């Protein structure tokens, strides 16, 4: 990502609209703006007309635009920036972008490059930059609120506080190593160090929203197979996983316990993640014994936590009375679609729409399994994500690394001692925790982390 070039891209949503905005940022913006307006650049808005080259014998096309010039560093990117407002016609926008790219030193912007330049110029912290991407991708009010936490710096303030505390503890430990000959330098006592490490760990774990180590499962949507006994749930469960995990048989009540396994949807739905897939006992109000009753209770408890229900019914009746009350989305699945007596003949995949009817699936030969996985990805992975507890994967990983380093440091401390037994090893462990927390603030982030962050943006942001 070179900062020497001037970049240009459309910063408004694709499609037709009354107005669109093209943003240009970089070192050649002043000369480019002077060429477009025919006068020296000055801060503010100017009306003008772009002499777009004609694509036929008709000659050039004067396009009326409104130009806004922002002097560095008083712009989004911290560079000289020119914004052009023009009619929101996609073909017209494309012609303007090609026209701008014909100027020396101007090229199309890469995804997230405007925000990356704002970060490198110190206009945004890394977590605020990620907040921009999170706000763009937000599909719910909760996700938008979490993005605002990042954009407004509240999450960053917490990260900074943790890093400051870890840095202070590291300094106190290293003081006992480097200045042992100084009478006025007193290293931190083991009990005090352990207490402060415990408080720091608790603060990080609380921000994750649950016990450390449990968030990866919490952050993944829970998809639950439901239906009456012998509805083909366990067979479908095994088929989706691609291996035999549940015992499937013709006898009702084969499944008693709730089985939960991770299901990676990315092979069938590129860009989708992993969900937790659960197979439950069949829903039946007529329990014959206590184990049946316990299985029913476990099933209903899992259903209450579900993000998406796959309602399996080989008869296609889907009696609403069979389904417990739930706030989760429901996809109807017609299982055993391979049965010759099925009154519903198979239809071409292209003519089937999941949201309007039950999806016929054959778990034995895999018919419509790929369609089902794509439907799961569409419904489960696009909503009901924990907004701030799950966070961004990079944030969650850094917090886990920091907690792991803090836990390791705690094992090196014995409160019965008057001093630290292994201060060098302890300092190295605290440095690892500080490095992990530093990644959250972008101050110790390697280039590959930065590249992954800004690659998630769309062009023009």
Tell me which residue range forms the domain holding 435.
135-214+388-441
Instruction: Verify that 360 and 254 share a domain, yes or no.
Output: yes
pLDDT at 442 over 60: no
Residues 235 and 256 in one domain: yes
Domain-embedded: residue 129 = no
Any domain includes 1 = no
Same-domain check for residues 157 and 197: yes
Shared-domain flag, residues 154 and 80: no
Pairing verdict, β 222-226 and 274-279: parallel
Residues 192 and 284 in one domain: no
Structural domain includes residue 455: no
pLDDT at 332 (0 to 100): 92
The predicted-structure confidence for 325-335, as pLDDT tens digits, reads as follows 777 889 999 99
Q: Are residues 339 and 431 in the same domain?
A: no
Mean pLDDT of the chain: 78
Same domain? For 158 and 92 the reply is no
Q: Reduced to 3 states, what is the DSSP secondary structure of residue 8?
A: strand
- Percentage of the residues of the chain whose pLDDT score is greater than 90: 23
Q: Give the CATH number, domain containing residue 244.
A: 3.40.50.300
- 8 Å CB contact between 303 and 324: yes
| In a shared domain, residues 49 and 119 | yes
The verdict on pTM exceeding 0.85 is no
Q: In the predicted model, what is the mean pLDDT of residues 18-34? A: 93
The arithmetic mean of pLDDT across residues 365-390, rounded, is 72
What are the percentages of helix, strand and coil residues in the chain, rounded to 5? 40, 15, 40
Domain-ending residue, one of 336, 355, 380: 380
Please check whether residues 119 and 93 belong to one and the same domain: yes
pLDDT of residue 80: 93
52 lies in some domain: yes
Domain membership of residue 452 (yes or no) is no
357 and 435 fall within a common domain? no
pLDDT at 108: 93
pLDDT at residue 253 greater than cutoff 60: no
CATH code for the domain in which residue 35 is found: 3.30.1360.120
Convert the pLDDT of each residue in 124-170 to its tens digit: 887 788 788 777 766 556 567 777 777 777 777 888 889 888 888 88
What per-residue confidence (pLDDT) applies to 55?
A: 55
Confidence of residue 414 (pLDDT cuts 50, 70, 90): confident
Does residue 324 sit in the same domain as residue 239? yes
Once rounded to an integer, what is the mean pLDDT over residues 67-93? 92
What is the Cα Rg of the chain in Å?
29
Residue 70 domain-assigned? yes
Token representation of residue 332: 């109807």
The tally of domains found in the chain comes to 3
Rounded Cα distance between 344 and 314, Å, is 11
Percentage, residues of the chain above pLDDT 70: 75
Task: Please state the rounded mean pLDDT for residues 1-17.
Answer: 86
298 vs 124 pLDDT, higher one: 124
């Amino acid at each position: 990502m070179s900062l020497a070039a001037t970049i240009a891209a459309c910063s408004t949503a694709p499609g037709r609209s009354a107005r669109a905005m093209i943003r240009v940022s970089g070192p050649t913006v002043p000369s480019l703006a002077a060429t477009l307006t025919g006068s020296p650049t000055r801060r503010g808005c100017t009306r003008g007309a772009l002499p777009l080259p004609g694509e036929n014998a008709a000659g050039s096309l004067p396009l009326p635009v409104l130009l806004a010039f922002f002097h560095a560093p008083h712009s989004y990117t911290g560079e000289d920036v020119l914004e052009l407002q023009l009619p929101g016609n996609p073909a017209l926008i494309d012609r303007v972008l090609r026209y701008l790219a014909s100027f020396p030193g101007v090229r199309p912007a890469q995804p997230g490059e405007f925000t990356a330049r704002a970060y490198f110029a110190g206009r945004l912290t890394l977590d605020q930059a990620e907040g921009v991407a999170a706000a763009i991708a937000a599909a719910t009010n909760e996700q938008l609120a979490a993005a605002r936490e990042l954009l407004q710096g509240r999450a960053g303030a917490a990260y900074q506080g943790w890093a400051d505390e870890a840095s202070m503890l590291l300094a106190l430990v290293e003081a006992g190593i480097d200045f042992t000959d100084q009478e006025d330098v007193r290293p931190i006592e083991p009990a005090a160090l352990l207490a402060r490490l415990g408080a720091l760990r608790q603060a990080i774990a609380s921000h994750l929203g649950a016990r450390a180590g449990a968030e990866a499962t919490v952050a993944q949507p829970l998809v639950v197979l439901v239906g009456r006994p012998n509805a083909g749930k366990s067979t479908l469960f095994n088929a989706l996983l691609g291996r035999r995990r549940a015992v499937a048989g013709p006898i009702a009540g084969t499944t008693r316990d709730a089985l939960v396994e991770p299901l990676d949807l990315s092979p069938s739905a590129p860009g989708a993640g992993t969900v937790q897939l659960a197979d439950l006992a069949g829903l039946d109000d007529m329990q014959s014994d206590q184990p049946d009753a316990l299985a029913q209770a476990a099933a209903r408890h899992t259903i209450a936590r579900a993000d998406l229900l796959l309602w399996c019914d080989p008869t296609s009746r889907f009696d609403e009375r069979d389904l417990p009350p739930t706030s989760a989305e429901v996809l109807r699945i017609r299982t055993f679609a391979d049965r010759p007596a099925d009154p519903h003949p198979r239809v071409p995949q292209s003519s089937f729409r999941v949201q309007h009817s039950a999806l016929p699936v054959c778990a034995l030969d895999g018919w419509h399994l790929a369609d089902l996985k794509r439907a799961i990805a569409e419904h489960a992975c696009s909503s009901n994500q924990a907004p701030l507890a799950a966070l961004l994967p990079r944030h969650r990983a850094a917090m886990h690394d920091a907690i792991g380093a803090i836990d390791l440091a705690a094992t090196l401390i014995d409160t019965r001692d008057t001093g630290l037994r292994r201060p060098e090893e302890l300092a190295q462990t605290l440095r690892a925790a500080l490095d992990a927390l530093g990644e959250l603030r972008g101050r110790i982030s390697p280039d590959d982390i930065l590249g992954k962050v800004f690659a998630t943006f769309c062009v023009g942001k």
